[in-house]
Structure 1
């Protein structure tokens, strides 16, 4: 008798363990369907040909976790083919010839359309409803899974990388389930998910189908909004499209801008500038963070699309970093124009005109002008306060004394708008020199000796 009981217990344990593994490993694999955009064409089409790029720009996998903390599940959707066809169908309502294909075919079309499609999981938020009676008061705490879809359309001329038009739309809503999915969902909650391993295939298929339909609905809605905006800007595309787009007119500041670089890491971007012909770059430590290498672009590389794994980016090696004073030194390979540092504090004073160069937000190589508001000692760091606009992305760029064209500081930070306006700060060139212990020209051999000396010993 004990023998049979032992075998029965062992069998039950085996089944339970198997069911646990089965339930934890539940995954739904779906795909955005083709031909989901079926709106009628605009009254007057534009007589141009457009290629919707199907490689490099829209291939991705959208992954969403379970709809409930108590129900383990994962939903994976392939979006590349369906999004490309939907975008082509949408554009065909405005242009006479629209096709989807690889970018290598772009020379055969008047415009190239790049589609960026992203879905951000936004499935944990709570809504509170407070109910009061004579004696009681309670709150209703509810779980609402949801997501946000963003679609960006970039229209480019095949002979130029510069964007002729960029349009973006986004949608966010709670996930809605079909009747079967809702029934299984609440049944699992009532039974405390004990029967979920048995019902999981049906639950996964029904909820996955509902999620896919939600994604397709948002995609259609975003594309519809973009097409309305595109139709309003048809004059921009209908003009002589074989002409060059409007050039930059940087005039006397171009020489300074060519010495300034655009820097980016996996999760941030900023500015920097050359201080030697052999590629030494100054920037902020908060841009570099803990990275060993930083990607950068030159003024001559413009136009380009940042955060893309495609040329014309380059890499600079991190040489020295001081997080306390927020300065960093990088090294790139090649020959470059460079700024001269002015570390003599007697050469400038309050009221002198200065220029702040950099790449604020999503703009590239800009110049703002102001005056020196004050010279401060901030926690032991020599700082220059200016009223020239310094925005997100300007960090690490040069602060130039206009009368001499020399760099007197590195743009570092600014106060939040609600705390004050016209209050930007730069670490002085004097502070940079004494902190990083560098001279001009930069002694590369000395820096290499220091790097080797500071390397951890191999055990």
Structure 2
């Protein structure tokens, strides 16, 4: 299906420090959009995010503007290098109201791997007027990828999140593990307490690291087939401001 190939040619993997997500060429191939939470901190860093195609071509990105993770969760970049001529750009066309049953496709690099997947879904409901559910297997790494109307090939939203039971419990587990890890780190060098040959400082550190591994494995594999998209309209409005020189 040619539509799927066009979506694939517009989608990139986004790499920023240890973070991996997805993104897409927007309106013109030299511009790339992703979620802000994929590149959070880039606005205050000297490090650059990088866009990587499924064929392995890499191009550094310059941040133009963004909306915070807690607001509209997008970031707009401009390519700071040469792009292959095969790259495509997606044009926005967000509906005034998202409707159940609208046939869409979404694309990205689930789990941050090198393999680009384009998948079919439908809009299955509304979170609020700006967020909508899709019945797709959205995984970590899909964040920032495009959600495309299959009828006309326009991008209507950005993959932003996934919904699964126990997400808050996993987040609490991660916080607890990190607290233990940081405590163990803070007492390193103060000596050790051993009982029956067991170094309890090292044991606590090992337990904290084990909890983090368990949390990461559970979260990576938790999937109820429910994804959440954010309307592209906010990124489109900001892009238009940038191009017209407005603030």
Partner in structure 2 of residue 387 of structure 1: 135
TM-score normalised to structure 1 length = 0.37
Partner in structure 2 of residue 368 of structure 1: 119
| Residue 349 (structure 1) aligned with residue 99 (structure 2) | yes
Residue 427 of structure 1, CA deviation: 0.6
Q: CA–CA distance in 2 between the matches of 1:276 and 1:373?
A: 27
Distance 1:386 1:319, change over 3 A: same
Larger of the two Rg values belongs to structure: 1
Partner in structure 2 of residue 288 of structure 1: 39
**Which stretch shows the higher mean deviation, 260-269 or 414-423?**
414-423
Q: CA–CA distance in 2 between the matches of 1:403 and 1:265?
A: 33
What residue ranges of structure 2 are gaps of 5+ in the alignment?
168-222
Instruction: Choose the corresponding residue for 1:337, options 78, 84, 88.
Output: 88
Partner in structure 2 of residue 263 of structure 1: 14
Distance 1:417 1:376, change over 3 A: closer
| Residue 277 (structure 1) aligned with residue 28 (structure 2) | yes
Partner in structure 2 of residue 313 of structure 1: 58
Q: 3-state DSSP class of the match of 2:133?
A: strand
Q: 3-state DSSP class of the match of 1:438?
A: helix
Q: 3-state DSSP class of the match of 1:300?
A: coil
1:235-290 per-position Cα deviation (integer Å, ceiling 9, x unaligned): xxxxxxxxxxxxxxx86522210111111111110000011325111110101111
Contact 1:262 1:364 in 2 (8 A): no
Partner in structure 2 of residue 322 of structure 1: 67
Partner in structure 2 of residue 438 of structure 1: 239
Contact 2:34 2:75 in 1 (8 A): yes
Q: 3-state DSSP class of the match of 1:258?
A: helix
Contact 1:271 1:283 in 2 (8 A): yes
1:203-223 per-position Cα deviation (integer Å, ceiling 9, x unaligned): xxxxxxxxxxxxxxxxxxxxx
1:317-360 per-position Cα deviation (integer Å, ceiling 9, x unaligned): 111111122111111144642001012325x5111111110000
Q: 3-state DSSP class of the match of 2:106?
A: strand
Q: Give the count of matched residue pairs.
A: 181
Q: CA–CA distance in 2 between the matches of 1:406 and 1:283?
A: 16
Higher relative contact order at CA 8 Å, sep ≥6: structure 1 or structure 2? Answer: 2
Q: 3-state DSSP class of the match of 2:28?
A: coil
| Residue 401 (structure 1) aligned with residue 156 (structure 2) | no
Q: CA–CA distance in 2 between the matches of 1:386 and 1:431?
A: 19
Contact 2:126 2:132 in 1 (8 A): yes
1:170-196 per-position Cα deviation (integer Å, ceiling 9, x unaligned): xxxxxxxxxxxxxxxxxxxxxxxxxxx
Contact 2:159 2:229 in 1 (8 A): yes
TM-score normalised to structure 2 length = 0.66
The RMSD of aligned alpha carbons is: 2.4
Distance 1:365 1:376, change over 3 A: same
Q: CA–CA distance in 2 between the matches of 1:263 and 1:360?
A: 12
Contact 1:345 1:430 in 2 (8 A): no
Partner in structure 1 of residue 198 of structure 2: none
Contact 2:3 2:153 in 1 (8 A): no
Contact 2:27 2:92 in 1 (8 A): no
Q: CA–CA distance in 2 between the matches of 1:256 and 1:338?
A: 8
What residue ranges of structure 1 are gaps of 5+ in the alignment?
1-249, 302-311, 451-459
Q: CA–CA distance in 2 between the matches of 1:369 and 1:418?
A: 26
Partner in structure 1 of residue 196 of structure 2: none
